[in-house]
Amino acid sequence: MARIAAPDLRGARKGDLDTPDAIAALVQQFYAKVLRHPGLRPFFNPAHLSRQMPVIEAYWERMLLGGARYRRNMVNAHREIHRRRRISSADFDSWLVSFVDTVDQCFAGPRAERAKFLARAIIGNLRRILPPDSPQTA
């Protein structure tokens, strides 16, 4: 099985999420945690995910640093994921808790705060767009 090689940043002095390298480290660390999570792990194909990491890093670069490399539609990507395997309210909660924990364990600063704020807002949008506890009609 392919593994996500996550750098262990927990002992290091916390920096902010203000460079592409820091964002890459967050993404590696977060998805390593996701793949250990019993509720979230079934959504992911680890081999595919490891190939998608640059795409997810580009997304967070766009959100936090204004990068222009991510040009896909993440909502549509998650519509398709939700169609294959329904994302429950508990799954949304688990994703957010894991994300906030990862940021807090490894990073501190204004962009780290912004990342958590954005994650909460985006989870809120996804919950509305992909109602977790009712059949999807679209």
Which residues contribute to the site for ligand HEM (CB under 6 A)? 40, 43-45, 48-49, 52, 55-56, 59, 72, 74, 77-78, 81, 87, 91-92, 95, 119, 122-123, 126
Token readout for 48 is 């595919």
- Nearest alpha carbon to residue 17 among 92, 105, 78: 105
Nearer residue to ligand HEM within complex by CB, 15 or 92: 92
Integer CA distances (angstroms), 98 to 40, 73, 83, 136, in order: 10, 23, 23, 26
Write down the least CB distance from residue 67 to ligand HEM, Å: 12
Between residues 19 and 44, which has the closer beta carbon with respect to ligand HEM? 44
**Min CB(52)–ligand HEM separation in Å:** 4
Query: Minimal distance in Å, beta carbon 51 to ligand HEM?
Result: 7
Q: Is the dihedral of CA 100, 88, 70, 52 positive or negative?
A: positive
* Cα torsion 28, 112, 120, 21: sign: negative
Which two three-digit tokens encode residue 38? Answer: 């019993």
Q: How far is the CB of 87 from ligand HEM (least distance, A)?
A: 5
Place of tokens 């679209």: 138
Taking the least distance from each CB to ligand HEM, the nearer of 5 and 11 is 5
Which of 15, 132 has the CB closer to ligand HEM? Answer: 132
